[in-house]
Amino acid sequence: MDTVFRNVRVIDGSGGPSYRADVALDGGRIAGIGRETDAGPRPGAARVVDADGLALSPGFIDMHAHSDLALLRDPAHEAKAAQGVTLEVIGQDGLSYAPVDDRTLAEIRRAITGWNGGGRDIDFSWRTVGGYLDALDRAHGGRGIAVNAAYLVPQGTVRMAAVGWDDRDATPAELDRMKRLVAEGLEQGAVGMSSGLTYTPGMYAKDAELTELCRVVAAYGGYYCPHHRSYGAGALDAYREMVELARTADCSLHLAHATMNFGVNRGRAGDLLALLDRALADGADISLDTYPYTPGSTTLVALLPSWANEGGPDATLARLKDAATAGRIRHHIEELGSDGCHGVPVEWDTIEISGVSEPALGGFVGRTVQESADLRGEAPWDTARRLLVDDRLGSTILHHVGHEENVRAIMRHRVHTGGSDGILQGAKPHPRAYGTFPHYLGRYVRELGILSLEECIAHLTSRPAARLRLPDRGLVREGYRADLVLFDPATVAAGSTYDEPRTLPAGIPHVLIAGRFVIEDGRRTDVLAGRAVRRTGAQGCTP
């Protein structure tokens, strides 16, 4: 054998009781599991690790990640590797970098600079989903990437390519083109389709258009992952809309960062869960992900009304520079509640600037818009408008609008999985980017007892593996891939905080991908064992 972990507590991902065992790895797979109670000789190996006091589980699967360029940019990628993440699902919220043409690529790079940076350090040689997945496999001199990655076809990018940035119905020819692009992406390995229905231009699609695209997804055995139309004033209606849309299309549904935010939804997680329980009882195939924190994170420009973003970034900037139009935008944001701000009038003391693209604007970072406005002696909208224009829409924010009781209630649900929604850009990104998975284990398991350790591990491993139709991941079983995490249940914890968001976690000494140590004795190795995980048919995926 290559490696044996002796005397380890196995938490196998099924949700069942843990047990002590020796676990042997060979050729990148789990080759043997010798329980403490088994008779016979113990397995030997080239390397034997005494894992007494540690727990061994399947690698964590981040169901909602924004590492689309980070995987290409940073070979270490400690933000995820150090957490025990062995697979990320990218292409989220309807906006990513494939499929594109030259025009669309330039537009998407500008539109999501706040999520991933401008990409000046990236060789955008691909134009298709397959080309992007190939780029991941060829990254870093052909060695691959830090962790595995699966990809969702981004519906907003597809609409950008076929329709542009106009707020209108697609023509039949444009809809046909979108369906072809989605089908091609799935044929080339994507696991499903995402939407960002509070982001332009994807939000301009009506349900009939989305349903047609979801029928394509369903035909390929994929799933639909919407960031739906409201997490605020219209949250329940927005969830209901997605459930009915998926039912009509006969498509599996995975609800992205399924939270209930803003004051109007305090204590209303039970309403969402009852809606989902009814749909599940009727036979719907639904899952969801959440992060274990209360603030959200997005771009400052995302709060604008959709009409202000029509036509793309240049048109948005022109509207912001025009005093009369900027006044209309302010009225929608502050008094009416824009669709970009989930139908809720903005509260500027909840909007904290987490990152800027222009270094000269760094003084805004770490302060709310209200605080910066007070320092400048001006109205908050004037500060926000100035920042949007001067940073060319590249500013990111933390949005302090969540509720702890909702977070705890939703994470208990039987179809819940973990997703960091981690934006890695900015001077002070959300701590969830570096801390989601150890925060579940340290805060919500050990300290609060919201979930048992065995149950939480199932949420983070086998449940997402089942959604992704991965036939040999998500469980500690003989023959399964050796994508594994060893952690100390007594000390595992997120190191990241709001003040120091890039601090690495504690209590995770070993992480393996394909049996190779990505984290060893708490330190990042130079191993690049990650690969693109591609959908190969209705039955599953393969690296």
pLDDT in tens, 183-229: 999 999 999 999 999 999 999 999 999 999 999 999 999 999 999 99
Q: How far apart are CA 501 and CA 425, in angstroms?
A: 11
Same domain, 171 and 205: yes
Distances in Å between the alpha carbon of 62 and those of 105, 256, 459?
Answer: 26, 11, 11
pLDDT score for 46: 87
**C-alpha Rg value of the chain to the nearest Å:** 23
Domain for residue 151, yes or no? yes
Residues 250 and 159 in one domain: yes
Residue 189 domain-assigned (yes or no): yes
Find out whether 297 and 397 touch, Cβ atoms under 8 Å: yes
| DSSP H helical ranges for 287-368 | 306-309, 313-321, 323-331
Percent of the chain with pLDDT over 90: 95
Say yes or no to pLDDT of 538 above 70: no
**Statement: residue 289 has pLDDT above 80:** yes
Domain boundary pick from 346, 364, 399: 399
Which of the pair, 45 or 176, is modelled with greater confidence?
176
Burial track 395-422 (b if 16+ CB lie within 10 A, e otherwise): bbbbbbbbbeebbebbbebebbbbbbbb
Same domain for 485 and 367, yes or no, is no
Domain residues for the domain of 479 are 60-294+402-524
- Count of structural domains within the chain: 2
| Res. 479 pLDDT band, cuts 50 70 90 | very high
Q: How far apart are CA 204 and CA 509, in angstroms?
A: 46
- Report whether 350 contacts 368 (CB < 8 A): yes
Burial group, residue 106, by CB count within 10 angstroms (0-12, 13-18, 19+): middle
Sheet holding 60-62, edge to edge: 60-62, 85-90, 148-154, 192-196, 223-227, 252-255, 286-290, 416-418
Q: What is the mean pLDDT of residues 424-449?
A: 96
CB atoms closer than 10 angstroms to residue 247: 17
How much is the pLDDT for 41? 80
The verdict on 336 and 446 lying in the same domain is: no
Check whether residue 426 and residue 347 sit in a common domain: no
Residue 429, preceding peptide bond in cis (omega within 30° of 0): no
- The whole-number average pLDDT for the span 428-447 is 97
Which among 419, 401, 534, 392 has a CA at the least distance from the CA of 66?
419
Please check the confidence at residue 541 and state whether its pLDDT lies above 80.
Answer: no
Query: How many Å apart are CA 167 and CA 172, to the nearest integer?
Result: 16
Q: What is the pTM of this model?
A: 0.95
Q: Are the C-beta atoms of 416 and 455 separated by less than 8 Å?
A: no
Tell me: do 192 and 117 sit in the same domain: yes
Which tokens in the block code for residue 483? 């994508």
**Per-residue pLDDT, 40:** 74
- Provide mean pLDDT across the span 510-530: 98
30 lies in some domain: no
Residue 110 domain flag: yes
Give me 121's structure tokens. Answer: 């350090």
Q: Are residues 378 and 410 in the same domain?
A: no
**Is 43 a domain residue?**
no
pLDDT value of residue 1: 83
User: ∠128-129-133 over CA atoms, to 5°?
Assistant: 120
Q: Are 280 and 350 within one domain?
A: no
pLDDT at 469 (0 to 100) = 96
Q: Which long-range contacts (CB under 8 A, 24 or more apart) does 123-128 make?
A: 124/97, 126/97, 126/98, 127/98, 127/99, 127/100, 127/101, 128/98, 128/99, 128/184, 128/185, 128/188
Does the residue 520 lie in any domain?
yes
**Residue 541: inside a domain:** no
Of 399, 426, 458, which marks where a domain is finished?
A: 399
Strand 396-399 relative to strand 351-355, pairing: antiparallel
Residue 428 lies in a domain: yes
- Render pLDDT for 59-104 as a digit per residue (tens, 0 to 9): 999 999 999 999 999 999 999 999 999 999 999 999 999 999 999 9
Of the ranges 30-39, 107-116, 266-275, 530-539, which one carries the lowest mean pLDDT score? Answer: 530-539
**Tokens read off for 472:** 């040999």
Q: Residue 351 carries which side chain, given as an amino acid letter?
A: I
User: Which of 333, 365, 399 is the C-terminal boundary of a domain?
Assistant: 399
* Domain CATH code at residue 256: 3.20.20.140
How far, in Å, CA of 64 to CA of 91, rounded? 9
Tell me phi and psi for residue 154, to 5 degrees. -85, 115
Residue 386 and residue 446 in one domain? no
Please check whether residues 232 and 250 belong to one and the same domain.
yes
pLDDT at 262 over 90: yes
Model pLDDT, residue 52: 96
Give pLDDT, residue 537: 66
Over the chain, what is the mean pLDDT?
96
- pLDDT of 15 reads 97
The pLDDT assigned to 235 comes to 95
What is the average per-residue pLDDT within 160-186? 97
Whether residues 128 and 254 share a domain: the answer is yes
pLDDT of residue 432: 97
Question: Lowest-pLDDT range, 30-44, 56-70, 516-530?
Answer: 30-44
Q: What is the 3-state secondary structure (H, E, C) of 79-95?
A: HHHCCCEEEEEECCCCC
DSSP 402: -
The span from the CA of 507 to the CA of 83, in Å, is 10
Q: Are 61 and 86 in contact (CB under 8 A)?
A: yes
Same domain? 367 vs 394: yes
* Confidence check: pLDDT of 39 > 80: no
Cβ pair 320, 331 in contact under 8 A: no
**Per-residue pLDDT tens for 383-395?**
999 999 999 999 9
Residue 273 pLDDT exceeds 60: yes
